[in-house]
């Protein structure tokens, strides 16, 4: 079965007792047993739930994984993975990593005696020189947030294999519709399903997929022990979103390409960051490892912080909000919003300048979106005192 068909059918047979074509929401915490230990496959919903099973089976299929685990959130997934390590272990991470991931590495797991190095994983030599005897895992995000830097996942996977390191790839920005890290050699693929996979900004969730049975057992054991599981209704909403994932990703991408072109020639925009533009430094690598460029755009507005702030406050269709990947377009200011916890010098050094604005391009009509950005950019260049 092809991807679009699997998104709708895998794990989603009609329900046996009634023929319901949609997987029911099994809103139950426990399951009756016939005699002690003799049950129908489920004992308690922290351990397993049929609605969650359906989601895990479907998403694992889309990522080309033999095993899938759904979590309460992306951070629940990431934190649970980290519990497979112990004090003294070292992890190398992409430096431009999601803020919550940086926080849990640097503020929580460091306290338990682990250490972390943050390097530009698009530079394979920098990555190689960060490897230590106690290194256990490499954590990659590609494209990154918010600068959309691209890491060559195959190259990193080769390095990890030769050094005996695990490779985890956070695939949130691409979704399996555009990129499948396990096929590129990663040991684990990780998602915040809150974003493109759920796709409607109405549910928080996470996912881990792997083809390594031992890794699956270890993470599943810890998930059950720690308890970072999604409720049945959240699993159901996410599964509902997945059915249209391929359609939505195609629409996000074609709108983003259109807007990236429009913004590239706009006099009030200094720079457009979009992997689909041939000028993007990761463009060539992206073409070898993904079937598209996604729906996220960075733009540096002429006129610094004030101009960027005005653009963000002036759009009407692009809602000013954190998060991304939903059908509705969002705009945000990384330096003030999602990346405020990164110290200013570090932000500037990484390229998160005060005039950087991040767009999550939705699936609305592209001309409406273009007109919305145009009027906001016009307002951005007005003298602030005249407003
Ligand atoms: C949002 C996000 C996360 C965290 O996921 P939550 O569902 O918010 O816990 C992790 N990685 C990336 C790339 C994200 O965008």
Average pLDDT over residues 143-172: 97
Give the integer Cα–Cα distance in Å for 179 and 169.
Answer: 11
- pLDDT for position 384: 54
182 DSSP 8-state letter: G
Which atom of ligand 1 sits closest to the CA of residue 76?
A: 9
Classify the C-alpha dihedral 169-170-176-177 as positive or negative: negative
Which phi and psi (to 5°) does residue 87 adopt? -50, 135
- pLDDT for position 32: 97
pLDDT > 70? residue 261: yes
Centre of ligand 1 from the C-alpha of residue 219, in Å: 18
More confident residue, 347 or 327: 327
Q: Tell whether 386 is covered by a domain.
A: no
Same domain flag for 209 and 293:
no
Other beta carbons less than 10 A from residue 66's beta carbon: 14
Ligand 1, atom 8: closest residue by C-alpha? 74
Same domain flag for 10 and 149:
yes
200-217 per-position pLDDT tens digit: 999 999 999 999 999 999
Ligand 1, atom 6: closest residue by C-alpha? 74
Residues with a CB atom less than 6 Å from ligand 1: 73-75, 98, 100-101, 141, 145, 170, 172-173, 192, 194-195, 204, 206
Which atom of ligand 1 sits closest to the CA of residue 100?
A: 4
Q: Which pTM value belongs to this model?
A: 0.96
Query: What end-to-end distance do the CA atoms of the chain give, in Å?
Result: 57
Range of the domain at 201: 3-242
Same domain flag for 228 and 253:
no
Same domain flag for 115 and 238:
yes
Q: What is the CATH number of the domain that holds 174?
A: 3.40.640.10
Q: How many CA atoms within 13 Å lie on the side-chain side of 151?
A: 39
55-71 per-position pLDDT tens digit: 999 999 999 999 999 99
Q: Give the residue from 174, 209, 242 where a domain finishes.
A: 242
Same domain flag for 259 and 161:
no
88-130 per-position pLDDT tens digit: 999 999 998 998 999 999 999 999 999 999 999 999 999 999 9
If one counts the domains in the chain, the total is 2
Give the integer Cα–Cα distance in Å for 16 and 83.
Answer: 38
Same domain flag for 120 and 55:
yes
317-338 per-position pLDDT tens digit: 999 999 999 999 999 999 999 8
- pLDDT for position 342: 80
Helix (H, G, I), strand (E, B) or coil at 190: strand
Q: Give the residue from 215, 242, 269 where a domain finishes.
A: 242
Which atom of ligand 1 sits closest to the CA of residue 145?
A: 13
Q: Give the residue from 219, 242, 265 where a domain finishes.
A: 242
- Confidence class for position 385, pLDDT limits 50, 70, 90: very low
> Residues of the chain with pLDDT > 90: what percent?
94
pLDDT > 60? residue 141: yes
Q: What is the per-residue DSSP string for 17-37?
A: TT--SS------SB---SBTT
Same domain flag for 258 and 214:
no
Centre of ligand 1 from the C-alpha of residue 91, in Å: 19
- pLDDT for position 383: 66
- pLDDT for position 298: 98
Q: Tell whether 304 is covered by a domain.
A: yes
pLDDT > 50? residue 370: yes
Same domain flag for 276 and 203:
no
Q: What is the CATH number of the domain that holds 284?
A: 3.90.1150.10
Q: Is 16 a catalytic residue?
A: no
Same domain flag for 78 and 173:
yes
């Amino acid at each position: 079965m092809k991807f679009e068909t699997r998104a709708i059918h895998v794990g989603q047979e009609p329900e046996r007792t009634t023929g319901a074509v949609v997987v029911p929401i099994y809103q139950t915490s426990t399951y009756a047993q016939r005699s002690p230990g003799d049950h129908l496959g489920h004992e308690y919903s922290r351990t397993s739930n049929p609605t969650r099973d359906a989601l895990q089976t479907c998403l694992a299929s889309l990522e080309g994984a033999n095993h899938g685990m759904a979590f309460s959130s992306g951070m629940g997934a990431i934190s649970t993975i980290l519990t497979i390590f112990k004090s003294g272990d070292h992890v190398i991470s992409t430096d431009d990593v999601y803020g919550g991931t940086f926080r849990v590495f640097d503020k929580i797991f460091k306290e338990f005696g682990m250490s972390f190095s943050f390097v530009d994983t698009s530079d394979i030599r920098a990555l190689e020189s960060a490897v230590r005897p106690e290194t256990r895992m490499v954590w990659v995000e590609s494209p990154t947030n918010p600068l959309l830097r691209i890491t060559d996942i195959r190259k990193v996977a080769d390095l990890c294999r030769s050094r005996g390191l695990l490779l985890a790839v956070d695939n949130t920005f691409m979704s399996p519709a555009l990129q499948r890290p396990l096929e590129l050699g990663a040991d684990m693929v990780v998602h915040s399903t809150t974003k493109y996979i759920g796709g409607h900004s109405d549910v928080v969730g996470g996912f881990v997929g792997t083809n390594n049975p031992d890794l699956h057992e270890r993470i599943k054991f810890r998930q059950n022990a720690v308890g970072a599981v999604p409720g049945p209704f959240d699993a159901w909403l996410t599964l509902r979103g997945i059915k249209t994932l391929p359609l939505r990703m195609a629409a996000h991408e074609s709108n983003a390409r259109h807007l990236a072109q429009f913004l590239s020639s706009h006099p009030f925009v200094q720079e457009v960051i979009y992997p689909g533009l041939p000028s993007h430094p990761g463009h060539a690598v992206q073409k070898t490892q993904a079937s598209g460029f996604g729906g996220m755009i960075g733009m540096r507005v002429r006129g610094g912080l004030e101009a960027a702030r005005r653009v963000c406050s002036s759009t009407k269709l692009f809602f000013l909000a954190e998060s991304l990947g939903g059908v509705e377009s969002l705009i945000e200011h990384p330096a003030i919003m999602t990346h405020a916890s990164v110290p200013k010098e570090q932000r500037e050094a990484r390229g998160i300048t005060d005039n950087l604005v991040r767009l999550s391009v939705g699936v609305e009509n592209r001309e409406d979106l273009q007109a919305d950005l145009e009027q906001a950019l016009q307002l951005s260049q007005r003298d602030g005192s005249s407003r």
